[in-house]
Chains A and B, each alone.
Chain A
Amino acid sequence: MPRTCTGWTRQGPAAAASLAALAGGAILLGSPPAAAYPAMIRHGYTGCAECHTDPSGGGVLTEYGRGQGVILLASQYGERASGWEPPDSKDFLFGALPLPEQLALQADIRALLIPQPGNMRVLAMQNDLRGSVDAGVFHANGSIGWVSEGAEKAWITSNTDGGGNLVSREHWLGIEPVDDLYIRAGRLNLPFGIRSEEHVLLTRSATVTDTNDGQQTGLDVVWQVGKVRAELMGIAGNFQVSPDAYRERGYSGTVAWGPKSTLELGASSKYTHAVTDIEARMERIRAFHEVHGRWAPLRALALLSEAGMSYDSTGGVNSVGTFGYLQADLEPVQGFHVKGTAELCDDDLGDDAAMVGRGWLALQWFAVTHFDLRADAWYGTLYCTPGTEPSFMGLLQAHAYL
């Protein structure tokens, strides 16, 4: 599967102690439930399978991935001796419960705070237990969690009276019949664009590829040959939404080429049809086609971008739109990230509503292994809703994984 990049150990600069001042309340950013970090291309990771049990990234970490979380992601405090390796505390429950080699477990807890006039809105954004079983060429992966609100399309319970719901964002079975070919069936994140932690990007809402609850059930094939990686998923629908008329069916696929260990260029396409769209309550066909790229010109800097066109036919009324973003992820010292993102989106270029956009600044600190803090501030719109007046928004977020 995707290529291996950096070695197991790496010496890094010590983190600046002054960053501790941020711990109490820097501005937070919105990280997604599928905590994929595509900016890891700065370390030569064009692929995802070394660090994640999902070959397309996000979700349960492999043991190697947990190690890289210590070595490459978290702040370092002091020099490490030659031959140093990550301690067992990187493992599940800090190593207190050793797991068999075939089993990986991970608990993710993510709290989101939204400062509002007169109060602080608190969201239990993610409380997921995720697991992965590897039995030779066979694999199984699943998650179960609880949300206080939202993520309806991932619910497995149906409590609409408050009190939250159980969710399962992913559950799938997989097989690797031959090297470099991975086939999966079940509920999966859609292969489209760059899978990043910013699941509320306008591009994600415009293309309906939000990793919070945008997964679909289907059959997925991942194929890697040389420097090219391709993935195609046949979408059978979201079986956690009823009745059947509301389920989208179609395909989603992506292909990426990594000419260098620090550069990846790709293209994605998605097409779905629903007899009755959840929002429009009419028959709807939607297609999205885009190009994307990741490039790390310097170790400290990673650039990510997606841009594409959307085609929508709702109740026989057709529209053409566009979407895209450019993001710069700067890591001046290991563990501390400054991210700047510029986004644009328009779901109908032919109407009078003005294109919307968003400028987004984020600070993220991987303070220690298993734990990160994030602060986001943006000016713009939350969704791809042309005509909406832009406004400021701030988010604070704390994430821990065990």
Chain B
Amino acid sequence: MLLILYTAAAFAMSDFPNAVADELGMPCTATCDLCHSSSSGGGTPTQAFGLAMMDRGLTADSSTIAGALDLMVADAVDSDGDGLIDTEELARGRNPNGGADYCAAGESGPTYGCLSTTGGARGGLLVAALGLGLLLRRRR
């Protein structure tokens, strides 16, 4: 009695920002606000970059991302009119929709894991050790 179901487009679209970042070699990870009004995404794209991507064939199918980006380059789309095309702005960590640098003023985006990052595991263990040390001391 296997039921035939299909997956919500929104599920796959949560991967879109990182797909764009990978395609363009962005110096940080991307989030939904590249195309949507909020960082959590949802609804039809409202940002200039997202609208331009849709005009060039972007759909809910992630396989359309690369083609749309190629057309963005071919058409030299410059959404915020600052003289640098959108794809080049993203590759440099800048915001194609205007405003501040996308990658947090030149800072790299978050990294995950504690084996190759600064202070990760050591910081957590330090908090745990300090907390327990305080407890033991008070208990005596």
Q: Which residues of A approach B to under 8 Å, CB–CB? A: 21-22, 24-27, 114-117, 121, 152-153, 155-159, 165, 171-173, 175, 177, 183, 185-187, 217-219, 236-237, 239-246, 276-281, 314, 347, 353, 356, 375, 377, 381-394
Contacts and interface: CB of A to CB of B under 8 A. Distances in A.
A186 B8 contact: no
A249 to B, nearest CB: 11
Contacts of B104: 276, 281
B114 A156 contact: yes
Contacts of A183: 135
B115 interface: yes
B116 A158 contact: yes
Given A24-B2, A281-B104, A375-B3, A381 B8 contact: yes
Nearest to B5: A394
B41 interface: yes
A156 B6 contact: no
Contact of A382 (B10, B117, B128): B10
B42 A385 contact: yes
B39 A277 contact: yes
Contacts of A246: 110
A387 B5 contact: no
A84 B102 CA distance: 64
A240 B124 contact: yes
A392 B9 CA distance: 9
B61 to A, nearest CB: 10
A237 B26 CA distance: 26
B7 A185 contact: no
Given A158-B115, A240-B114, 19 more contacts: A27-B3, A158-B111, A165-B112, A173-B131, A185-B130, A217-B123, A217-B127, A245-B107, A276-B104, A277-B39, A280-B33, A383-B10, A385-B10, A386-B43, A387-B44, A388-B43, A389-B10, A390-B8, A392-B8
Interface in B1-33: 1-11, 14, 31-33
A284 to B, nearest CB: 9
A276 B100 CA distance: 14
Given A177-B139, A242-B111, A388 B42 contact: yes
Nearest to B22: A160
A109 B104 CA distance: 38
| Among B39, B44, B107, B139, residue most surrounded by chain A Cβ atoms (within 10 Å) | B39
Given A24-B2, A25-B1, A281-B102, A240 B8 contact: no
A199 to B, nearest CB: 15
B94 to A, nearest CB: 13
Contact of A242 (B2, B11, B118): B118
Contacts of A177: 135, 138-139
Contacts of A390: 8
A387 B43 contact: yes
Contacts of B10: 381-383, 385, 388-389, 391
Nearest to A314: B39
B116 to A, nearest CB: 4
Given A375-B3, A382-B11, A157 B113 contact: yes
Contact of A114 (B7, B116, B128): B7
A264 B65 CA distance: 49
5 contacts: A171-B128, A173-B128, A243-B118, A279-B39, A385-B41
A25 B42 contact: no
User: In the complex, which of the residues A239, A382, A390, A392 has the most CB atoms of chain B within 10 Å of its own CB atom?
Assistant: A239
A281 B120 CA distance: 20
A246 B136 CA distance: 31
